[in-house]
Chains A and B, each alone.
Chain A
Amino acid sequence: MSRFETWNKDRAREIIAQHAEQDGAALPILHALHEAFGYVHRDAVTMVASALNLSRAEVYGIVTFYHDFRSTPPGTHVLKLCRAEACQSRGGDALAARAREALHVDWGEITADQRVTLEPVFCLGLCACAPAAMLDERVFGRLDAQLLDTLLSATRQL
């Protein structure tokens, strides 16, 4: 079961209206859309542009500038592995390779069964218990091959 709602224009319109009145509303709106649907639908770009009196190109520019915003739906689960230096120093690269191999995906890709999207993250601020990962909303430190395998198998069961 996906954690996200299916794309729905009326629902999107509602979300946009909820956040459109504040100063610098673009990011709060995009975050809210992301939270609801897991990505920013193509049509949402047009809708946000018209709500904020921006061009579609400007909104598209914002969506594509920030690493957080996806333009396609993610898998049921999102696994983020930290790729930054502190995690590198504790074997993060090898764990990342293990995850890519086990899932048969590269960074930013979704598994064939649509269950997992694997994303890189540059620092979760858990650098004193590196390597670190985030599965959906939960954070994990002192990641090793065993814990990674546990997380990967959890994505197949939940």
Chain B
Amino acid sequence: MSRPRIFVPRDAGALAVGADEVERAIAAALCRRGIDAEIVRTGSRGLFWLEPMIEVAVQGARIAYGPVTSADVEALFDAGVLEGKPHALRLGKPEEIPYLKRQTRLTFARCGIVDRLSIADYRAHGGFKGLERALSLGPAATVEEVVRSGLRGRGGAGFPTGIKWRTTAQAQAPQKYIVCNADEGDSGTFSDRMIMEGDPFVLIEGMAIAGMAVGATKGFIYIRSEYPHAVETFGRALAAAGAEGYLGPRVAGSAHEFDIEIRVGAGAYVCGEETALLDSLEGKRGMVRAKPPLPAHHGLFGQPTVVNNVISLASVPIILAEGADAYAAFGLGRSRGTMPIQLAGNVKYGGLFEAGFGVTLGELVDDIGGGTASGRPVRAVQVGGPLGAYFPRALFDTPFDYEAFAARDGLIGHGGIVVFDDTVDMARQARFAMEFCAIESCGKCTPCRIGSTRGVEVIDRIVRGENQAANLALIEELCATMKLGSLCALGGFTPYPVLSALKHFPEDFGAAPDRAAAE
């Protein structure tokens, strides 16, 4: 019999609920029982209500147990966990868990399965096939393949990735850059973090393909400081990829040079905006730049630069490996491929759900997410982070698709869905949206810098019942000014949560004396 393998996630979401303690308990149990087994640290499968979820390999299949605490470990060994024997925490084959079974895992095909830092494991699970095909296609055909796949920026803006690449490829300059935007600041989102911690090589492969395709020899990844585990794992993955020749002067033995450097953010949400991110990378305050010039022409240090989100870049290897048509076969309308949707907040089954575009919001929240964790009715969901709209149940038939959400005054953003139960005070949420914008504004444009602070004040006056009609008109006007007059999405999209809360939950903005006193 081969050496048993036990898989324990090292995703920050699993660590936050005790995965390291479980790993130590397993190591101690193995030692005490004199069992020679290998503990493999993986990413997370994304079923966070089951974390820490451990798995064992039995006859070529995986058997999962969860949620496991360190106190459960002895009993699991007594029950015969290494042979996949029954126990109250036994979940069976993870692929058969409905939450996973219903997904289409393309970008997240390996996450939670492979040893996150093993190149051999990555290759054994189809890794580097995309890079190999891209190298055989050559730069121009690789760019066209990404264009044809219909991939749109997964960071939130939804701009076609292939068009960005083509623009940068056509620019002439002594140095071009690939910049990976890993400043995943939206509350309710964690897919970038999961990829960096669970399958970092797919992102390295995607960046290397992008570099080859547009003629960039240098890549930067800007990871937010709130993700220390991602910074550490990705750094180790870079070293491993370099040692195996996937980065450096001859990428995978080709004539293409490409290297990646990690830079860590410093807690500024606005640096997730691509031009502010570039200023921050240059060592300045993260101030938003006016566009044009586009980063594709005039980006990092003034050179042509592709700025792509983590998930956009991590989706490139599978597009190249399986072909643009195979990827584009998934999806709806102009939203092609799959989207890693993140179910978060007050939801029973919180986690990562990758699926083709088109699944409805109601299916996601009620069916897949199982409603609220508190057991109370779902009242509102915020889709797309702090700049996304609050949707009431009445809009749960909206399909998850860039255009469908835009048509209902919302956005899908980076794919985060935060669920709230009926105890939520929507006036408070609207106020928070303005407050957050005031805290995070870079200060360059007036509508965002001043408007957000005035917005907080006006909402306070509405809630206190002061000149309500006039102040409601004023907040709408202020939102219109911010939307049309701001330089970037921070000021421009803050009106989404504010106006949607006002429109769908006007009853929360009444003059309730107890609420006015509470703040």
Contact = CB atoms under 8 A, between A and B. Distances in A.
Interface string A104-127: 000000000000000001111111
Interface of B: 12-13, 15-17, 48-49, 51, 184-190, 192-193, 225-229, 263-269, 280-286, 301, 342-347, 350-352, 373, 382, 386, 416, 418-421, 424, 429, 432, 436, 439-440, 442
Contacts of B264: 27-28, 31
B228 A62 contact: no
Contacts of A84: 187-188, 386, 436
Contact of A122 (B187, B190, B228, B350): B187
B266 A66 contact: yes
Most-contacted residue by chain A among B16, B185, B386 (CB, 10 A): B16
A150 to B, nearest CB: 13
B283 A85 contact: no
A86 B16 contact: no
Interface string A33-70: 00000000000000000001000000001100111110
Contacts of A155: none
A84 to B, nearest CB: 3
A85 B429 contact: yes
Nearest to A130: B345
Which range holds the interface residue count of chain A?
35 or more
Nearest to B369: A128
Contacts of B386: 84-85, 122
Given A86-B187, A126-B13, 9 more contacts: A66-B286, A69-B266, A86-B188, A123-B186, A127-B187, A127-B188, A127-B345, A128-B342, A141-B13
B418 A89 contact: yes
A31 B499 CA distance: 38
B325 to A, nearest CB: 33
A155 B189 CA distance: 29
A122 B346 contact: no
Most-contacted residue by chain B among A61, A68, A87, A90 (CB, 10 A): A90
A122 B436 CA distance: 9
B351 A128 contact: yes
B283 A89 contact: no
B184 A125 contact: yes
Given A90-B373, A128-B342, A130-B344, A123 B284 contact: no
A124 B229 CA distance: 11
A95 to B, nearest CB: 14
Most-contacted residue by chain B among A68, A88, A128 (CB, 10 A): A128
Interface of A: 23-28, 30-31, 52, 61-62, 65-69, 82, 84-90, 121-130, 132, 134, 137-142
Contacts of A138: 15
B420 A67 contact: no
B474 to A, nearest CB: 25
B187 A142 contact: no
B283 A139 contact: no
Contacts of B344: 86, 127-128, 130
A139 B373 CA distance: 21
Nearest to B347: A128
Contacts of A82: 187
Contacts of A130: 344-345, 350
A132 B269 CA distance: 18
B187 A87 contact: yes
B226 A123 contact: yes
B346 A128 contact: no
A66 B287 CA distance: 11
A139 B284 CA distance: 29
Most-contacted residue by chain A among B13, B301, B439 (CB, 10 A): B13
Contact of A66 (B184, B267, B373, B382): B267
B267 A67 contact: yes
B283 A126 contact: no
A142 B49 CA distance: 10
A66 B48 CA distance: 31
A32 to B, nearest CB: 10
Nearest to B229: A139
B334 to A, nearest CB: 28
Nearest to B285: A65
A139 B439 CA distance: 24
A143 to B, nearest CB: 9
B429 A68 contact: no
B286 A128 contact: no
B439 to A, nearest CB: 8
A26 B267 contact: no
Nearest to B416: A127
Given A89-B421, A127-B416, A139 B225 contact: no
The 10 closest A-B pairs by CB, nearest first: A128-B350, A84-B187, A26-B283, A141-B16, A66-B266, A127-B344, A67-B267, A128-B48, A24-B283, A89-B345
A126 B382 contact: no
Contacts of A61: 285
A103 B324 CA distance: 56
A23 B48 contact: no
A28 B264 CA distance: 8
Nearest to A80: B226
B263 A126 contact: no
B267 A68 contact: yes
A24 B281 contact: yes
